[in-house]
A and B are shown apart, each in its own frame.
Chain A
Amino acid sequence: MDEISNKTLAILLIGAIVISLGGTLISLNRLARIKMPMITGFYGAAEEAIVQLEIEGIVQVKFTIDTIDWGSGYVNSTATFCVLNSYDAAIGANCSSFTPQTAGLVLENVGNKNVTLNISMEKNAADFITGSSPVCKWNVSESESGSAPGLALTPGDWQTCATTAVVVCNSTGNGFLATDSSDTLHLDVLVQIPSDAAPGAKTNVMTASAAQI
C-alpha cells in the first residue's frame, strides 16, 4: 500500500488550520461582545516565594509500535518453506494469503535515564513456528540517529530468537539514550515457515529489558 503523499497531507492540514482559525476568530469576536463587570488587579508590596520541585528518576522503555501481525496464510504446496519479514511491502515467495508488514517494531526510551538494553524472545524458532528447520530472527538499528552510542550489535545483523537475553546496548557512551530527539530504536523480525509447520495461531513475544546506567 502506498502512503498518502506529503503534499496531500499538507493541503488537508492547511485546510483544517484555516477553518479552525476562522472558527476561533468568529468565536472570539462574539465573546468580545459579552460584557463583564470590570475587574482589575491590586498591586501590593513585592513578596518573595520559593518554588521548589524535585524530578524523580524513571527508567522505562516502551514499544511505540508493539505488534507484527502477518495474519493467516500458508506455504505454497510446491515449496518446502516460505519467508516473512517485517520490512518488505510484499510477502515472501511461496507464501500465500499473509498480510505484508513494513513497520517492524519501534522501541523508545521514554524515561529520563540512559539505560543498557537486553532483548530476549519468549520462544525460539522451534517452539514458535514448529516443523522442519524453522527460522526466527530479529535485528536492530537506530530509528533516530545517535540513539544508542552503546549499541553492542552491528545494525541490521540478524540475531537468532532465543530465550537467553542478548545485550543490545551496553553502557558505552551512555548506552541507550533518554534524550527526546535521539531515543528510538527500530527492530525487525524475520521468520521462515517450513511447509510441515503445525497449523494454528503462532505467537512470540519480544521482551526489552532496560537497566539504569
Chain B
Amino acid sequence: MIKSIKRIILFILLLVFVLILIKPIYAVGIYFPNNNEMDFKPGIEKTFNFAATPSRMDVKLSVSGYLSEYVTLSKTFIRSNSTDRAFKVIIKLPEKIEKPGHHKVWIAAEEIIDESKISGNIGTSCNAMVYILIHVLNPGKYVDMWLSAPDVNLNEPVNFAVRVKSFGEEDINSIKAAIDVYNPNNEKLATVYTNEKSLKSNTEETLHAQLSTAGYKAGTYMAVATLNYDGKTKEDKKKFRIGELNIKIINYTKEFEKDKTNKFDIEIESDWGNNIKEVYGEIKINNSIIKTPSIGLAPWEKKIITAYWDTNNVEIGVYYAEMTIYYEDTTTVGISKISVVEKKEALVEKPGIISLNTTTILVLIIILLIIIDIIWMTRKGKEKNKLTRKKKNRKK
C-alpha cells in the first residue's frame, strides 16, 4: 500500500515537473560590454568581449556597417547545443579613415531557421543586433553640442547647461553660447549668455547660463542655444516648462449603466513642478456626492482617480456632474454632462471542454499540489495514530 502511494506521489511530482518545464522558449540575444565605444587612432587595435544567449536554433554571427572591413569575429557560427557562446570582436583600424563622424559597426546574431524545430503553421525566430561606436575626428575644428533646459516652477530661475564635445583634430580657443528664450506664442522674451571656455581636441566641456523667470506665466517655453566656437556656429533647442500649482481635469467617464455600481474615473494632470500630496475628488450629481480616495501627484504627472456611483433608482437620462479636485488648500472645478444608459448584458461563462492552455496547466498544478498535501498529511496522521496505539499497547 505504502509502495503504491509512493509511486503515485512520484508520478505526480514528475508530472508537475514536466508541466513546469514544458517547451522552454529560447531566442538569441547578445550580451555586450557597456564600454562599446572607441576613438579612432591610426592603426589602433581593440578587442571587445561579446556572448550570444542560448538559442533553440544555430546562430550565425556577422558584421555590417561602415568600417566593418576592419572588424573580425573570433567565431561566426554557434551551434544551438554549444555551451561556448562567448565571442570576441577584434577591431584593427587603418592608418587613415576618410569619413569623419560617429560610425556604428553592427554585430548581428541571427537564428538559422530550421523547420524541423518549428511546430505549428506559424513559427518564430529572433535576431539581435548591437553596435560598437567608432569616433573619427573631423579635420580642423568640429563640435557636437547638447542643450539641457530643466522644468521649473513660477519665479524660479532656469539653469541652462550646454554640453560641448570636440570631434575635431584642432583645439578650439573659445566656445560660448547665446540662449534665446521664446514664449508659448513663439515671441522672443530674452537672451542669456553662457560663460566662455577653451576646448581641446577630443575633449568635453559644459557651459552654464541662468534665466530669471520673474514675471513669466506658466506654460511651455522654447530655448534655442547658438554656440560660437572660434567664429563657427552650431545650434540646439529644447522645450522647458514653467509650472504653477494647478491640477487640470483631462478626461472623465461619460457613460454609466443603470442599476449598477459604476466606476467614475477622472483623469487629472499636475501643472506643478513639485509633488502634490493629498489630492482627491468630489463629484456632485443631482444632490448626491461621491468621493475618490486621496492620492499623491509627482511633478507634471497624470493619474486617474476613481469614485463609485450607485445608479440604483437613477433614471436613464443626461445629468450634470460637478467634479471638484481638492489639493493644497485650493480646488479645480469642472462641470460636465454625463449619461445613464440601460444596463448592458453581462457575459455569462458557458461550459466547455478544457483545453491545455497556460491557465489549465496552472490549475492542474494547483490541484496536484493540493492532492500531494492531502496525501502527505493523511499518511503522516495514520503513522502517528499507529505509533500512539503501539505505545498504548506497550503500556498495557
Per-residue interface assignment for chain A, residues 173 to 213, with 1 indicating a CB less than 8 Å from any chain B CB and 0 otherwise? 00000000000000001010000000000111111111110
Q: In the bound complex, how far is the Cα of B359 from the Cα of A189, in angstroms?
A: 23
- Contact across chains for B127 and A12 when beta carbons are under 8 A apart: no
- Contact across chains for B123 and A203 when beta carbons are under 8 A apart: yes
**Known pairs A23-B377, A54-B34, A206-B122; A12 contacts B29 (CB<8 A):** no
- Contact across chains for A2 and B113 when beta carbons are under 8 A apart: no
- Contact across chains for B118 and A205 when beta carbons are under 8 A apart: yes
Per-residue interface assignment for chain A, residues 48 to 74, with 1 indicating a CB less than 8 Å from any chain B CB and 0 otherwise? 000000111111111110111110000
**Known pairs A204-B121, A207-B124, A207-B126; A1 contacts B353 (CB<8 A):** yes
Cβ contacts under 8 Å, A205 to chain B: 113, 115, 118, 122-125
- Contact across chains for B125 and A210 when beta carbons are under 8 A apart: no
- Contact across chains for B32 and A57 when beta carbons are under 8 A apart: yes
- Give residues 45-99 of A contacting B (CB, 8 Å): 54-64, 66-70, 86
Chain B residue, CB-CB nearest to A70: B121
- Contact across chains for B355 and A4 when beta carbons are under 8 A apart: no
- Contact across chains for B124 and A208 when beta carbons are under 8 A apart: yes
Give the interface residue-count category, chain B.
35 or more
**Known pairs A67-B120, A207-B124; A58 contacts B353 (CB<8 A):** no
Per-residue interface assignment for chain B, residues 367 to 382, with 1 indicating a CB less than 8 Å from any chain A CB and 0 otherwise? 1011001101100000
- Give residues 181-233 of B contacting A (CB, 8 Å): none
Cβ contacts under 8 Å, A103 to chain B: 357
- Contact across chains for A1 and B377 when beta carbons are under 8 A apart: no
Cβ contacts under 8 Å, B351 to chain A: 2
Cβ contacts under 8 Å, A164 to chain B: none
- Give residues 121-161 of A contacting B (CB, 8 Å): 122
Per-residue interface assignment for chain B, residues 110 to 154, with 1 indicating a CB less than 8 Å from any chain A CB and 0 otherwise? 110101001111111111111100000000000000000000000
- Contact across chains for B122 and A210 when beta carbons are under 8 A apart: no
- Give residues 26-43 of B contacting A (CB, 8 Å): 26-34, 36
Q: In the bound complex, how far is the Cα of B29 from the Cα of A38, in angstroms?
A: 50
- Contact across chains for A19 and B28 when beta carbons are under 8 A apart: no
- Give residues 340-387 of B contacting A (CB, 8 Å): 349-355, 357, 359-360, 362-363, 366-367, 369-370, 373-374, 376-377
Cβ contacts under 8 Å, A60 to chain B: 27-30, 53, 126, 128
- Contact across chains for A23 and B27 when beta carbons are under 8 A apart: no
- Contact across chains for A57 and B33 when beta carbons are under 8 A apart: yes
Cβ contacts under 8 Å, B130 to chain A: 57, 59, 113, 211-212
Give min CB distance, B307 to chain A, whole Å: 23
Cβ contacts under 8 Å, A210 to chain B: 126-129
Nearest 9 CB-CB pairs, A to B?
Answer: A60-B29, A69-B120, A67-B120, A211-B129, A68-B122, A62-B27, A209-B127, A19-B373, A63-B124
Using a CB–CB cutoff of 8 Å, the interface residues on chain A facing chain B are 1-5, 8-9, 12-13, 15-16, 19-20, 22-23, 26, 54-64, 66-70, 86, 103, 105, 110-111, 113, 122, 189, 191, 202-212
List 7 extra interface pairs beyond A57-B32, A62-B27, A191-B121, CB under 8 A. A1-B352, A56-B31, A86-B122, A205-B122, A208-B124, A209-B129, A212-B131
